[in-house]
Structure 1
């Protein structure tokens, strides 16, 4: 009963406070400032340690909780490629670090419109390369991300494969944004977070002069064959539900070991409420189990 009330309250908070900010009329610099404050409600668990580090020339935040295992999760934050940072996502990375027992490294990749595609992808790849140079075996590295960071997770794995580079052990994505053409957006009865006009603005900023069907921008328009085991989590109350479904169908059809989890009556990247909402905490526990299942050692 209490969880139902909490879920209802969180949904209303997202609807009244977050969704209006994610509007194309709100200037991006203001969105960045206000959303950064809003993310303070996403609280990491006690005992987390956050360090600002540099990996292969890219600033990142390293998250640890207690004794860590031999493994690292490269976490790519969401925000439509135009807002967000490793600092806004400390709630998710903190709870994922606790659940997995692994170290999380979240890059502060460059954002659009100042830095359109492929800047974010280049930065993500640079950090992956940096982790390899530090001595992490590919089989001990997992890549995860939410929303735009989910799309970036898939794009990075595709680029690594195409270039003959060693692949990570697994991929995990929360509410992935993988089709920036928006031709098959889902229409839920209610959508507490995202507005189609906002993601349209974000897509324009990120793509620049590149076609939206470019596979490394919209991975469902590419080839997923040979990618590592993939876990997809998505809420039923979000316009990106079909992105998750399409990604799952394409990956499965092309031989990728894929698991799709749809959380009924939850919203875009509901995992930010881990530690408060039991279903969000459980989702990250499931994600951690997926990551640890395929981690070497």
Structure 2
């Protein structure tokens, strides 16, 4: 683990930005430019497709997937981002697991405020189930706002009496629209990416006047995760959203859910995006891949019994 690497990432994220509120298109363009600098691994191929009523990006190992599907929800505060901006994360999970991934291009605010994103991610999951995919072979993964969607899509699926996926992996998840976590204040100024004010601007676009005191908006505060699949919540100590993950983990544990809270010191929001640059990012993605391969179950035409860890080696060998 390199102090120099962490300092370099921190300095990059602290580069001066335009002051004051920016138009939505300017925010989106700036995020696209930043994420275009992230390293996408070799050995994958991408295909534009649809999943339910929305576009999606299919990401697969170039030599063919070995079974299992990651349904990925990109980050961006529900206002910016796309499957393309999240490709460094989906690509790394695909490369490390051998699974295929669908990255959902859910609708964004302010044009489409809450609950549009959850409606779209639930539709994407339903489309996988309707295609014949076994829920035990599907996992949810996401970062930031998309990490929050891994949880709220599970809530929505449970409310719709759908079978739940095999596991959840969330990177720096946004899980509290009330912004009441202590880390919102204790990490102010330490977080190089977010401020309370910047989160309030994008949050207001997504809420569109709705009360954040709802389980689908603030699951770390209000949701009942009883019956959820195993969860891995990864977060950095330099995040104002740190307590979103710590409180969600506590709620899940109290509800009898298998949960791993994976906290990495001195790293920023969605530090996993810096794979290939930051040692902690690669190590965290290795842990996430191992978690996924341990929980995915795939079925072959020749057997009715489930087998574990079929996404591929090396992670599957630990099952």
Determine if the TM-score, normalized by the shorter chain, exceeds 0.5: yes
SS in structure 2 at match of 1:276: coil
- The answer on 1:62 being equivalent to 2:58 is yes
- 2:207 equivalent to 1:211: no
CA–CA separation in structure 1 for the residues paired with 2:80 and 2:191 = 20
Moved over 6 A (4+): none
In the other structure, the counterpart of 1:119 is 116
From 131, 134, 154, the equivalent of 2:151 is: 154
- Equivalent position of 1:15 in the other structure: 14
Q: Do the aligned partners of 1:141 and 1:295 also contact (CA within 8 Å) in 2?
A: yes
Residue by residue, what CA displacement relative to the aligned partner does 1:67-122 show, whole Å, maximum 9, x if unpaired?
A: 31211000001111001000101111111111111111001100001100110001
Aligned residues: 293
* Conservation of the 8 A alpha-carbon contact between 1:42 and 1:92: no
Q: How does 1:181-260 map to 2 (within 5 A)?
A: 181-186=178-183, 187-188=186-187, 190-220=190-220, 221-260=222-261
Deviation of residue 236 (structure 1)? 0.3
Which of the pair has more CA radius of gyration? 2
How far residue 185 of structure 1 moved from its aligned partner, in angstroms, is 4.3
Query: 2:66 is paired with a residue of what secondary structure?
Result: coil
Q: Which runs of 5+ in 1 are unaligned?
A: none
The SS at the match of 1:217 is coil
Task: Find the aligned partners of 1:127 and 1:184 in 2 and give their Cα distance.
Answer: 30
2: CA distance between counterparts of 1:239 and 1:185? Answer: 8
Task: Give matches, 1:87-98, under 5 Å.
Answer: 87-98=84-95
CA displacement at 1:219 relative to structure 2: 1.0
Equivalence for 2:38: 42
Which of 122, 127, 135 is matched with 1:130 structurally? 127
Partner SS state of residue 259, structure 1: strand
Of 164, 167, 170 in structure 1, the residue corresponding to residue 167 of structure 2 is 170
List gaps (5 residues or longer) in structure 2.
Answer: 299-319
Confirm or deny: 8 A CA contact 1:142 1:170 kept in the other structure: yes
Residue number in structure 2 paired with 1:103? 100
Which residue pairs with 2:310 in the alignment? none
Q: Secondary structure at the match of 2:14?
A: helix
Query: Are the structure 2 counterparts of residues 107 and 214 from structure 1 closer, same or farther at C-alpha, using a change threshold of 3 Å?
Result: same
Deviation at 1:163, TM superposition (A): 2.0
Asked if 1:180 is matched to 2:177, the reply is yes
| Aligned-CA RMSD value | 1.4
The 1-side partners of 2:15 and 2:252 are apart by: 36
Distance 1:233 1:224 in 2: 18
SS at the partner of 1:60? Answer: strand
Distance 1:111 1:49, change over 3 A: same
Displacement of 1:127 in angstroms is 0.7
How far apart, in 2, do the equivalents of 1:89 and 1:163 lie?
28
Q: Deviations over 1:111-137 (max 9, x none)?
A: 001100110001101111111122211
User: What TM-score comes out, normalization by structure 1 length?
Assistant: 0.95
| Residue 78 (structure 1) aligned with residue 79 (structure 2) | no
- Conserved? CA contact 2:216–2:223, under 8 Å: yes
